[in-house]
Structure 1
Amino acid sequence: MYIPFDELPPQARVWIYQASRPITEAERAEIKPLLQAFATDWSSHGNDLQASAELLHNRFLVLANNESATASSGCSIDKSVNFVRELEQRFNVSFLDRSQLAFLKDGDMELVSVGQLKDKVTAGDINKDTLYFDTLVTNYGDLQAEWPRPAQQSWLSRYF
């Protein structure tokens, strides 16, 4: 069962997929109904999920489920990953490559490869207060309140 993204409860579980490139407005217009259709049909062991999906910042695909209504399962998560793979093929974009990290600097998104991160921190290009789009955020409340968040408040804290 589809619910609008902005009506998700704070505890709703989210999965964030970062696109390898910005999603164009034309692609966004084509993807939005696909997201709603997927969320409408998404189920776990035959039970409809209270689900939603959204594109944020023309770069992030967010799938969500209200776990307090119906918990997702391994099978439902597999369905979502297959859906993301279908989007990748259809739009020639990667959502499953975790080798690029997205930061917000001076109002612009900057991608840094995982391999470059240590050098960027050492050079001072990225510091503990640099805003980071942490794709490991797991619930809607944190996504709304703390995203992007200072790098030090994420798994990147070990670099500072």
Structure 2
Amino acid sequence: MYIPFNELPPHARLWIYQANRPLTDAEQDKIKPTLQRFAEEWSSHGTGLQASAELLHNQFLVLANNETAAAASGCSIDKSVNFVRELEQQLQVSFFDRTQLAFLKEGEVELISVQELKKKVSAGEISENTLYFDTLVNNYGELQEAWPRPAGNSWLSRYF
């Protein structure tokens, strides 16, 4: 069962996939109906999930499920991963590249490789107050309250 993204309860579980490039308006328009259809059909052991899907900041695909209505099983999570992989092929984009970190700089998403991070911190280009899109956020309430969050308030704090 589809639920609009902005109507998710704070405890709804999230899976955030970061694209390796911004999605164009045309690409977003093309896949938005596909996202809603996936959320409508997403199920766990035959039980429909209370699910949603959204594109944020032109670069993040977020799948969500209200776990109190029905929990996502391993099989249903596998279905979602396969769905995201199909989108990758369709859009010629990667949603599984974990070597890039996303920061909000001057109103734009900026990707920085993990290898560049120490250098950027040393140069003062990234500080503990630089806003970071932490893809480890796992519920809707946290996404609404603190996303992006200061890098110093994430797993990146060890770099400061």
TM superposition score normalised by structure 2: 0.98
Quick check: 1:71 aligned with 2:71?
yes
Match of 2:32 in 1: 32
Q: Please give the alpha-carbon distance, in whole angstroms, between the structure 1 residues aligned to 2:5 and 2:26.
A: 21
Quick check: 1:57 aligned with 2:57?
yes
Task: Extract unaligned runs of 5+ from structure 2.
Answer: none
RMSD over aligned Cα atoms: 0.6
Aligned residues: 160
1:112-155 CA-partner distances (Å, limit 9, x unpaired):
00111111111111000000000110000010110000001111
What displacement does 1:110 show? 1.3
1:38-94 CA-partner distances (Å, limit 9, x unpaired):
000001111110000000010000000000110111111100000000000011011
Q: Please give the alpha-carbon distance, in whole angstroms, between the structure 2 residues aligned to 1:22 and 1:83.
A: 19
- Runs of 4+ aligned residues of structure 1 deviating over 4 Å after TM superposition are none
Identical positions, percent: 74
Task: State whether residues 57 and 109 of structure 2, in contact with CA within 8 Å, keep that contact through their aligned partners in structure 1.
Answer: no
Deviates more, 1:98-107 or 1:11-20: 98-107
State the SS of the aligned residue for 2:9.
coil
TM superposition score normalised by structure 1: 0.98
Q: Please give the alpha-carbon distance, in whole angstroms, between the structure 2 residues aligned to 1:128 and 1:46.
A: 45
Q: Please give the alpha-carbon distance, in whole angstroms, between the structure 2 residues aligned to 1:107 and 1:25.
A: 17
Match of 1:148 in 2: 148
The one-letter code of the counterpart of 2:56 is: L
State the SS of the aligned residue for 1:38.
helix
Q: Please give the alpha-carbon distance, in whole angstroms, between the structure 1 residues aligned to 2:27 and 2:112.
A: 24
What displacement does 1:108 show? 2.0
The one-letter code of the counterpart of 2:2 is: Y
Task: State whether residues 127 and 151 of structure 2, in contact with CA within 8 Å, keep that contact through their aligned partners in structure 1.
Answer: yes
